[in-house]
Structure 1
Amino acid sequence: MLWYGELARYRLRARLFVLAACHAGTGSVEFGSEYVGFPGAFLAAGARQVLAPLWAVSDTSTALLMRHFYTALATPVSPAAALREAQQQVAANPATAHPYHWAGFQLFGAA
């Protein structure tokens, strides 16, 4: 288990962290006098970008979006372009066309 406060002690060097758990992009933690969410904690610890959901997306929809995201990311595109491609592919499927299934994923940090 990783606690918010522990992240401040790390010096993360990864280009991208993916937090696919429910509500990983929400919530708050206090760093000094400032409140930040889980993605903000990763960014403060040195991560360049963080992909996280803003609400609880179904496991099936998340798995589908992640499959498309990582497939796109394996090509020479940015994480933002890979996310856009994945969201478009999930939205194109009638079973997952509702924004609940794909719009909750947000990319935080520098492009």
Structure 2
Amino acid sequence: MNYSWPGNVRELENIIESGMNFVDQNEEILDIEHIPRYIRDKLTKETKDVDSYSLSPYKNVTLREAIQDFEKKTIMAALENNNWHMTNAAEDLGILRQNLYHKMKSYSIQKPHNKN
């Protein structure tokens, strides 16, 4: 299971302990259905996002260029999905808010001005 654990070790401990409450006595393995729904839903969303990603636009570029383009698009999507709320976007990306600001600066990403 791939989850960024934006909280801390206590969060992980609580998830495992909570999951163990759903394991039958004769079971020895903690499985995905024992994990709280909010984490399963996030995992499902992340898996769909990865599955829908295609490498075809990156045929004639270096690995570095492809990674930078993908990172910029991912940051833009997180910002737009969170109405440019930096803390929420950083949380969705699994990075610190300060790192988000740094990446935005390096990719020249600026919040669009509202046209009213």
Q: TM-score, normalised by structure 2?
A: 0.27
The answer to which structure has the higher helix fraction is 2
Q: Which has the higher contact order (CA 8 A, sep 6+)?
A: 1
The higher radius of gyration belongs to: 2
